[in-house]
Amino acid sequence: MDINESFAKAEQILAPWTGVATHPAPDRMDVVIPAKSLVEAVTALVEAKWGYLSAITGLDHPGSTEPASEALRWQRLTEEIEAPSDEESREGTLEALYHFCEGAAILTLRVRVRYTSSALPTICNIQPAATLYEREIMELFGVTIVGTPNSERLLLSDDWPEGVYPLRKSFTSLKELDVVKGKETK
């Protein structure tokens, strides 16, 4: 199938949830969707047999004084929540990118959650192959995937401390973590 045809079809499928759809490259389409619509959107894609889930990428956007991104603003808007306060944008967010591929076309569903409410629904009921990807993002980024069939450790060692997520930008090394902890206890 032609790339443009694929994207036209995807746009149609995702129309109910699409607010911002961009084409960062000719072979890519990024769609920002609110977390609560994730399952519905994925279900629609799978039922329409649009491509396959290729990967789930996690991104950490540590809190900073910089203004909240467009995507985040939009998501807040659709969730009928007020625009992020300064405190919230300082807190930082995690982003999960669900990449679907059909032929040469790559469709990415982008979902954002806050550090303190980092829950995302599982998509394993619709797309069973997602289980390993979900376990990966849970471990490495600390996104909570609600309802995922297996939430055991997949990659990190058994003695890895709880609540330490190595792919977050704030993580530098376990050694430094110990130093910080040691200081805290003193």
Query: Which residues would be at the binding site for another protein (CB under 8 A)?
Result: 24-25, 27-28, 52-55, 57-59, 97, 99, 101, 103-104, 106, 108, 127-129, 131-133, 140, 150, 152-157, 166-167, 171
Helix (H) or strand (E) holding 138: helix 131-141
Q: Which CB atom, from 88 or from 136, has the smaller least distance to another protein?
A: 136
- Whether the CB-CB separation of 52 and 10 falls below 8 Å is answered with no
Q: Which CB atom, from 16 or from 149, has the smaller least distance to another protein?
A: 149
Retrieve residue 156's tokens: 């990190």
Q: Which CB atom, from 13 or from 130, has the smaller least distance to another protein?
A: 130
Shortest Cβ distance from residue 125 to another protein (Å)? 12
Shortest Cβ distance from residue 31 to another protein (Å)? 14
Q: Which CB atom, from 158 or from 184, has the smaller least distance to another protein?
A: 158
Shortest Cβ distance from residue 81 to another protein (Å)? 26
Cβ burial of 82 (10 Å; 0-12, 13-18, 19+) is: exposed
Q: Cα dihedral sign for 67, 28, 142, 170?
A: negative
Give the residues across from 55 on adjacent strands: 99
Shortest Cβ distance from residue 57 to another protein (Å)? 4
> Strand locations in the chain, DSSP E?
20-22, 28-32, 52-62, 92-102, 105-114, 119-121, 144-146
Shortest Cβ distance from residue 75 to another protein (Å)? 18
Q: Which CB atom, from 54 or from 78, has the smaller least distance to another protein?
A: 54
